[in-house]
Amino acid sequence: MPDTPALGLRDRKRIETRLRIETAAVDIVTAEGLDGATVDMISDRAGISPRTFFNYFESKEDAILGTQDMGEVQRAIAAGVASAETDDLVAAIVSTMFQIFGPMAARTQLKAQRMALVQEHPRLLSRQIHQFTQLNSTMAAAVVEFLNKRETTLPRDPEHVAEIAVATCVASVRIAVKEWIADGATADIDSMYLRSIGLTRETLNTLQ
């Protein structure tokens, strides 16, 4: 780990404010529904002005989803797939996703609450899919790297094959998470991971 550059008061406050907004957003939407929650209400509970809300988030939906710095996540994903120790592509993709999103998903009440909201409100799901779509190309690029390193015979069309591979794995993670939520969000990350891999394998067998 590189030295944390000793965040000053200004930065710490910013992070804290951001979290306060996210929490307020999720709480109010949980209580009042997606349309019942207004930016005014959220700002009010977070103790900021409505104008400041939009300094932190582009939209109400982003605040609810807690859109984090996607650049950060992108770099983590690329690094994760590239440095995977396995030669198994499915395992490389899925485990990278779990390394990155797993801790987010399972540890805090906020994240669990948020995931439930996403299942409940199609509009949020759509926005989240949009975020993931932006990640897909990064992941696909990392997968092409992966293939370049290990396979002697590359697919004829590595970029496009990589995109489909990513779509497949992402779908299996999404479905494992969906079931995790349906089960009351009790199981641990490892079992989600295993389930996700299992689903992918079964699907491949079925499709072949």
Q: Which residue has the tokens 């307020």?
A: 24
The CA distance from 70 to 135, in Å, is 8
CA proximity to 198, closest of 110, 90, 120 = 90
- What are the C-alpha distances in Å from 162 to residues 64, 75, 121, 174? 31, 17, 30, 18
The CA distance from 88 to 72, in Å, is 25
Choose, by CB under 7 A, the member of 38, 83, 86, 126 that binds DNA: 38
Residues of 24-57 as b/e, b for ≥16 C-beta within 10 angstroms? bbbbbbbeeebeebebebbbebbebeeeebeebb
Tell me the residue type at 16.
E
Work out whether 22 is an interface residue with its own copies (CB under 8 A): no
100 binds, among DNA, its own copies, none (CB under 5 to 8 A by kind): none
Choose, by CB under 8 A, the member of 12, 122, 148, 188 that binds its own copies: 122
Work out whether 147 is an interface residue with its own copies (CB under 8 A): yes
Contact pattern from residue 59 through residue 88 relative to DNA, giving x for each residue in contact according to CB under 7 A and a dash for the rest: xxx---------------------------
CA proximity to 108, closest of 21, 4, 26, 196 = 26
60 binds, among its own copies, DNA, none (CB under 5 to 8 A by kind): DNA
Closest contact distance (angstroms) between CB of 137 and its own copies is 11
Q: Count of residues binding its own copies (CB under 8 A)? A: 37
Closest contact distance (angstroms) between CB of 118 and its own copies is 12
Residue 194 CA, chain-centre distance (Å), reads 18
Work out whether 207 is an interface residue with DNA (CB under 7 A): no
In the complex, the residues that contact DNA under the rule CB under 7 A are 8-11, 13-14, 17, 37-40, 48-52, 54-56, 58-61
The site for its own copies (CB under 8 A) is made up of 89-90, 122-123, 125-127, 129-130, 133-134, 147, 151, 155-157, 160-161, 163-165, 167-168, 170-172, 175, 179, 199-200, 202-208
